[in-house]
Each structure stands twice: as structure tokens, then as C-alpha cells.
Amino acid sequence: MEVPTNVTLAFADFVSEQSHFALPIGIVDTTLRALSPITYPEDHEYIFQRALNRIEPVLSPKTALYLILRRENSLVAITYVPYLANAEAKALLVDNRDALLKRLGEQNFSTSIICKEIGEITDARSWEERSGYGQPRSSDHSEHTDACDTADVTGSGIRDLGYKKNKCRLCDRRMKNKIADDALDALKHLGEGGDCVQLSVNITTEILQLNFRSRNLAPSEVASHLPTSTPSFTFYHHAANERLYFIFYSPDNASVKARMKHTMAIPGLINIIANDNGMQVDQKIEIHDAEELVFEAKDERIGKFRSVYLSNKFAGTESQWKGMEEQ
């Protein structure tokens, strides 16, 4: 497969332009074509996950491509071959990934990997696991195929990881609810003591929507803002102890469907949406009556927990919860 001039020129521009985070390279028939580069977020505080979020719109579960990505002051070559993509296109990209590195200059790259799912690229936990910071994979988590399981065959010092399956399926990311723009904006600006943001799940659309946002709300006033007949999620930044509380309020008179939809939305909201935007929940509370709301600083969860509730502990990329072994 020939690497056309437009790809080499786009790569040269990408290398020289430090504001560019990733460069997708698609394939049409048997010809490579450079796509528009993806820039870093303009946020004042750079977070790797926020940059990864920008890649998701260009990835499709049915389209294979190459992706060049900046990671820790080096370049990573990703061969993205999703399960549902055209078999001939996948084979062509896998067979020619070493040739692409040679054409673009092996000295520019530190690592070459193969990915088959979007989350293996767009979830920072996947990168931590590949870097050895997460729990090491055991051999039974490796998927061995002739085309997708390789060692460092270039002899150039490039770390060729081939394809290694994540320890978990990143279910919280794949199943996370969509969130309305105003709700996401409210969460992003939740930073001062007394700030309060309340969300709920639209049962019809399953979109997380904003109920209300408030500044300088006293702790004693939070309970009065909990809806009386529908579940809700309330983020509250306590001014006195500087802890960020997450309150899952699920009244007994709410419908079973509403309680179920809200319970299922928790992992994606806490593990993905909140973390992706730099929010770290310090204390979780689950209550079923507004009068039960008490702000305490404890290592354990507060309230009467009826749901299987995530505890923000991970083994590799697998979320863990209390009593998990008993399920």
C-alpha cells in the first residue's frame, strides 16, 4: 500500500504543530487519506482524558483507520480495526502498519498498537493499563490472532504492543447517558463552596438534564431542593469541609422505571462524565427521604444503599463495588 504525498505532508505539519493532539488517516479503497488533525482542548488545565474525548467523533465502529497520537512527549501509532469494519480494509491496515512507520520516519514514534474498540483509544484507563500503571493483564485476557498479536518486529526500538484486550469492557463508558449542554456546563463550573447542581434522567430520552444550579447554598437548604416524587442526582460543594458530595435521592414513591433508569446512570455519571471534566467526588450519599440527608465526612458511604453502587475502586479498568464478590 502506497503512502501518498498528502499523508506525509500532513504528518510533517502535525509533528511541527504542537497544538495538534491526533492525526487520523483514513483509507479509501486502497489509498490512504489524511483527515483533519484534532487539537488539544483549550482548557486552562490540561487533562489527558479531555483530549481523548475529542477523538471520539472521528471514530466509528464500522470504519478502520490509522491514528497518530501524542502521548508523553512522543508519538503513538494506532491501527484501529473495529470488529464491524470491512475485513479487507482491516487486513490492509494491519499488514501495512510497519510500512507506514518507515515511510513517516520510525524515529518519530515510541509505540505502535492495535485497537478494536473505541474505548480502547478514548478511555484514559486503557492507556494506564497499557502503560503498566493499572493491574497487569494475565495471559487469559490476551486475544491472539496471526494478524493482531505481534512483538517488536521493526528493530527500531519502537514498542510494538500489537493487540491486547482490556481487562474489562469499559461498560461505564459505553453505557453512559448523554448529557444536555446546560447540565454539562453547570458541572464544569461547580468549583466554589456552596455551589450546587442537580440533574435527573429524562425517562423518555434517557438524557441527563439540569434541574437547577445554585451558588452559595447553605447545607441546611439542600434537602428542600430535592424533588418529592422523582429521583435526582445532586452535586454539592460543602464550604466548611471543602468536600464534594454526590447525593442520589430515590424516593419510595417514584416509579420503578424511574428508579432503575437513575441507578443505571450512576456509573457513567460518576466514573466518566464527572471525572472527564476534572471532578472528583469525595463522598457519596444515597437517601430515600429528604430528612435523611446528613453531611458527614466518612470513609464509608452515607445513607441507606439499596442499589449496587460503585465505590471508585478499580482493578485494571474494571470498576469494583462493595459486595461484588457476592453477586
- Architecture per CATH, domain 174-326, reads as 3-Layer(aba) Sandwich (3.40)
Q: Domain extents for the chain?
A: 5-167, 174-326
Confidence of residue 221 (pLDDT cuts 50, 70, 90): very high
Predicted TM-score of the model (pTM): 0.69
- Whole-angstrom Cα distance, residue 111 to residue 74? 8
Residue 81 vs residues 5, 67, 263: alpha-carbon distances, Å? 23, 11, 33
Confidence of residue 297 (pLDDT cuts 50, 70, 90): low
5-167: CATH topology is Severin (3.40.20)
- Whole-angstrom Cα distance, residue 281 to residue 199? 15
> Do the domains at 5-167 and 174-326 have one common CATH topology?
yes
Over residues 136-153, the mean pLDDT reads 38
pLDDT tens-place string over residues 39-95: 998 765 567 888 998 999 999 999 999 999 999 889 999 999 999 999 999 999 999
- Whole-angstrom Cα distance, residue 9 to residue 13? 6
Percent of the chain scored above 90 by pLDDT? 61
